[in-house]
Amino acid sequence: MASEQNDFEYFDGDQRCLGVLERPDPAKFPGPRPGVVAVHEAWGLGAQVRRRAKMLAELGYVALAADIFGDRHIPADPPEAFKIIGDLAADTPKLRAPVAAAVAALKAHDLCDGRIAAIGYCFGGRTVLELARSNNPDVLGVVSFHGALDTPTPAEKGKISAKILACHGAEDELVPHAHLTAFLDEMAAAEADCQTIAYTGAKHSFTNPEANGELMATIIHHDRTDKRSWKAMQAHFEEVFG
């Protein structure tokens, strides 16, 4: 039996969210399993994050592809997508609330053993870093893949309990070197347990096979870094989940 994917409804306050739950094969992975929330890019809950949820389930995790925009909204075009994520990035509580709701919903699921981590792509990478900065007690670890590293609400000293892995494209023009330096300084000042890997040759969206550089030259898949960062995530989760 392969993994099983189903729609999964939960709520962020009054906002209905329609995520996708991927369940691991019970013959290979019996009993409750650790859970991983996967957060989509600016384009909404689409093929990329669904594919990653399936890959997480194949590793034995109960994976929830979260619906951060609500009602599984898919932006009509890049300008709408950029406005949505820009508004959320500028309002830290508004950004943190929907991912916290996804964490709570997954933790409450009977297939989850209560241990939770989160991963995110591009906008989702920013989102899971904000989840770590919020010091959510249910979250053991996060992984950001080519996510924005800047924040209007830097972490407080001693207030990040989750282990962080930030996988960054060293040639990503959307996340300048100044943001990387500031992020490293922030994590050091917060005394966070943070690993940051900068991959040469990689730009933005290096994990997404559909990113071909047409929208922007810096939004392009990089196969080598895609594979290496996924392996880095697996090693991180071995430590996070024991």
For residue 13 the two structure tokens come to: 């306050």
Q: 37 pairs with which residues across the strands?
A: 64, 118
Helices (H), 17-122: 47-58, 78-90, 92-108
178: exposed, middle or buried (Cβ count in 10 Å: 0-12, 13-18, 19+)? exposed
Instruction: Check residue 166 and give its pLDDT.
Output: 98
Can you give the CATH number for the domain in which 150 is found? Answer: 3.40.50.1820
Instruction: Check residue 1 and give its pLDDT.
Output: 52
Instruction: Check residue 5 and give its pLDDT.
Output: 75
pLDDT in tens, 152-176: 999 999 999 999 999 999 999 999 9
Q: 41 pairs with which residues across the strands?
A: none
Residue with tokens 């895609």: 226
Which regions of the chain are under pLDDT 50? none
Q: Count structural domains, the chain.
A: 1
Q: Which domain holds residue 10?
A: 4-241
**Close Cβ partners of 144 (under 8 Å, ≥ 6 residues apart):** 119, 120, 124, 125, 126, 128, 129, 164, 165, 166, 167, 168
Residue/partner pairs of 223-232 with CB below 8 Å, 24 or more apart: 224/199, 225/167, 225/169, 225/199, 225/201, 228/199, 229/145, 229/167, 229/197, 229/199, 230/55, 232/143, 232/165, 232/167, 232/195, 232/197
Instruction: Check residue 2 and give its pLDDT.
Output: 65
